[in-house]
């Protein structure tokens, strides 16, 4: 592969030719670099979780086939992240003819503009300056709503016409995003939202790789990899995408939500990063991770939620950050380090969830978004607690609450209150919850609330809400 590369230290065309560099199309460049990474067994899509056996193989085949790609999936399925990651299959640096009047980053050996061809034909190679384009700059994307033909294809520049340039000449054009990304990657998000005129322009580029503006065909041998994203509910709707454009897209890659809850938790931990540390640290019991992710899973199953719009992974992330924020506030107020999230902190999820759930107007029966969320949270707690019951036994977990005690819970109650109510922690708790409820009051408070909420979900105890606080009793 070394003969395909060159160094940014090269400054003119003569040096570039002597370096052994040779021209390749963008798609051939991506294919070659993908093969190299595969041969060295390097990670192809670092940070992408749950797609190893489904989505990634389809992307690999699409790149090897040198296709334009459509990513079809609901919101929050990492479509945009994957498209941006495709730049890692480009060369780190790409040479171009460094001239201020050139409209694009010209390939030094295959210029596509009239001026570029003249420079290569007439000047000594030593007099043709070479610049270097980093792969991070060879990617551009656009969101479809509001996008006009001039934005991505181009327009005739009236000022150039006034200066005497012919309307049919390439010098009269003001290029849009796609021509300016010659030798790069262009991504169009939400393809079905493009108006028909822009779709026709894209069809022409995919078919002929040329530019036609206001009926004047300007032949450019554009070298570009084009990516699209779309939601199935709109992409498959008749008339939203013109058939000719669909037919020219080489590969359709179907994305999906995490198949397993643990994958969702892994994604959640990756996105949160180091946010749990600092001067006021937060420790999150694993069952709270499970509940947050199960809330998202239950929303994706709920008949009250419009499943065509999807429930994004950002739903989990926003709710988790709200949970941590509530625990951190309590930690600051009561001087608890580390702070530990509890079930009562879930009461604040309305703020991070409102607007992220689109209700099914037929199935919700006029339920509000808040009521739907409360139902989803309750179901998530029930599902997760039932798993602990099945694995560790309800008798041991519930033993401490058989004596008719009453426990008040709340997101601003100090953890010592829970410790006073529950002086003896069953040995099974420490094993079941993978955290030490015996030694840490904040952890104990979190475990207590989980058990109480779980027992309530199984109709083993009653619950009453008074003055903004919740009381559980036998």
Q: pLDDT tens digits for 248-307?
A: 999 999 999 999 999 999 999 999 887 898 999 999 999 999 999 999 999 999 988 888
pLDDT confidence of residue 3: 41
Same domain? 249 vs 135: yes
Question: Quick check: helix, strand or coil at residue 439?
Answer: coil
The pLDDT-based confidence of 241 (bands split at 50, 70, 90) is very high
Kindly state whether residues 177 and 78 are assigned to the same domain: yes
pTM, rounded to two decimals: 0.87
pLDDT mean over 124-147: 92
- pLDDT, tens only, 13-47: 999 999 989 999 999 999 999 999 999 999 999 99
**Residue 204 corresponds to which tokens in the numbers above?**
């022409």
Q: Indicate if 229 and 271 belong to the same structural domain.
A: no
Same domain assignment for residues 320 and 453? yes
For 354-377, give one letter per residue: b (16+ CB within 10 A) or e.
eebbebbeeebeeeebeebbbebb
Does the pLDDT value for residue 380 go beyond 70?
yes
User: Domain total for the chain?
Assistant: 2
Where does a domain end: 198, 227, 254? 254
CATH number at residue 108: 3.40.50.300
Q: Is the pLDDT of residue 2 over 60?
A: no
Estimate to the nearest angstrom the gap between the alpha carbon of 16 and the chain centroid. Answer: 38
Q: How far apart are CA 260 and CA 256, in angstroms?
A: 11
Point out the domain boundary residue: 238, 254, 270. Answer: 254
Q: Give the mean model confidence (pLDDT) for residues 224-249.
A: 91
pLDDT of residue 114: 87
Q: What mean pLDDT value characterizes the chain?
A: 87
pLDDT digits (tens, 9 = 90+) for 413-432: 899 888 877 777 777 777 77
Chain segment 45-72, per-residue pLDDT in tens: 999 999 999 999 999 999 999 999 999 9
Helix segments in 91-190, DSSP class H: 114-122, 149-152, 158-162, 177-180
Assess whether 364 and 245 both reside in one domain: no
Give the Cα-Cα-Cα angle 276, 277, 278 (nearest 5 degrees).
Answer: 130
Are both 230 and 278 inside the same structural domain? no
Please report the beta strands in 85-238, taking only residues with DSSP state E, as ranges in sequence order.
93-97, 130-134, 139-143, 154-156, 173-175, 184-189, 211-213, 216-218, 224-230
Residues 57 and 141 in one domain: yes
Going by pLDDT thresholds of 50, 70 and 90, the confidence category of residue 158 is low
Domain with 332, as residue range(s), is: 261-473
Q: Are residues 278 and 399 in the same domain?
A: yes
**In terms of DSSP bridges, do strands 224-230 and 184-189 run parallel, antiparallel, or are they unpaired?**
parallel
343 — pLDDT class (breaks 50, 70, 90): very high
Shared domain for 244 and 265, answered yes or no, is no
Cα separation, 58 vs 202, whole angstroms: 23
> Looking at residue 419, what is its pLDDT?
82
The answer to whether the bond into 246 is cis (omega within 30° of 0) is no
Percent of the chain having pLDDT more than 70? 90
Tell whether 240 and 309 lie within a shared domain: no
- Whether the pLDDT of residue 409 is over 60: the answer is yes
Domain boundary residue among 254, 278, 310?
Answer: 254
Whether residue 468 has pLDDT greater than 90:
no
**Chain centre distance of CA 391:** 34
Split at pLDDT 50, 70, 90, the class of 172 is low
Clarify whether residues 205 and 306 are in a common domain: no
* Res. 1: pLDDT tops 60: no
Higher pLDDT, 123 or 460: 123
Cα angle 97, 102, 105 (rounded to 5 degrees) comes to 50
Q: Residues, the chain, total? A: 474
Instruction: Quote the CA–CA distance of 339 and 282 in Å, as a whole number.
Output: 5
pLDDT of residue 446: 92
Q: What proportion of the chain, given as a percentage, has pLDDT over 90? A: 54
**Sequence-separated (6 or more) residues with CB below 8 Å from residue 87:** 135, 136, 138, 139, 185
Residues 282 and 310 in one domain: yes
């Amino acid at each position: 592969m070394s003969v395909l590369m060159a160094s940014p230290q090269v400054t003119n065309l003569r040096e570039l030719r002597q370096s052994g560099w040779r021209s390749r199309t963008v798609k051939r460049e991506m294919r070659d670099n993908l093969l190299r990474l595969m041969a060295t067994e390097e990670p192809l899509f670092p940070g992408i979780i749950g797609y190893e056996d489904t989505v990634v193989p389809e992307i690999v085949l699409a790149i090897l086939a040198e296709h334009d790609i459509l990513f079809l999936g609901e919101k929050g399925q990492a479509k945009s992240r994957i498209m941006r990651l495709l730049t890692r299959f480009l060369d780190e640096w790409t040479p171009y003819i460094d001239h201020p009047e050139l409209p694009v980053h010209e390939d030094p050996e295959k210029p596509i503009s009239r001026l570029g061809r003249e420079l290569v034909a007439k000047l000594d190679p030593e007099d043709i300056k070479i610049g270097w384009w980093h792969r991070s700059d060879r990617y551009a994307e656009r969101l479809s709503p509001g996008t006009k033909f001039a934005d991505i294809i181009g327009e005739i520049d009236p000022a150039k016409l006034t200066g005497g340039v012919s309307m049919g000449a390439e010098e009269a054009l003001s290029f849009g995003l796609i021509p300016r990304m010659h030798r790069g990657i262009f991504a169009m998000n939400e393809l079905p939202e493009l108006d028909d005129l822009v779709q026709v322009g894209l069809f022409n580029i995919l078919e002929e790789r040329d530019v036609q503006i206001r009926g004047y065909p300007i032949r450019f041998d554009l070298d570009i990899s084009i990516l699209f994203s779309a939601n199935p509910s709109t992409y498959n709707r008749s008339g939203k995408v013109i058939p000719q454009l669909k037919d020219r897209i080489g590969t359709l890659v179907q994305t999906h939500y995490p198949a397993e809850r643990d994958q969702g938790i892994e994604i959640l931990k990756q996105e949160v990063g180091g946010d749990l540390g600092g001067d006021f640290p937060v420790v999150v019991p694993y069952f709270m991770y499970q509940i947050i992710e199960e809330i998202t899973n239950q929303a994706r199953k709920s008949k009250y939620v419009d499943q065509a719009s999807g429930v994004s992974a950002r739903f989990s992330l926003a709710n988790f950050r709200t949970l941590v924020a509530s625990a951190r506030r309590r930690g600051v107020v009561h001087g608890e380090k580390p702070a530990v999230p509890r079930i009562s902190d879930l009461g604040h999820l309305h703020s991070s969830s409102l607007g992220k759930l689109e209700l099914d107007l037929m199935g919700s029966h006029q339920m509000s978004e808040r009521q739907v969320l409360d139902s989803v949270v309750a179901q998530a707690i029930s599902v997760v607690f039932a798993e602990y019951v099945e694995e560790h036994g309800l008798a041991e977990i519930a033993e401490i609450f058989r004596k008719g005690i009453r426990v008040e819970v709340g997101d601003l109650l100090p953890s010592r209150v829970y410790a006073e109510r529950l002086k003896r922690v069953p040995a099974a708790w420490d094993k079941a919850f993978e955290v030490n409820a015996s030694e840490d009051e904040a952890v104990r408070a979190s475990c207590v609330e989980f058990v109480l909420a779980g027992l309530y979900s199984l109709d083993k105890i009653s619950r009453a809400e008074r003055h903004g606080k919740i009381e559980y009793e036998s």
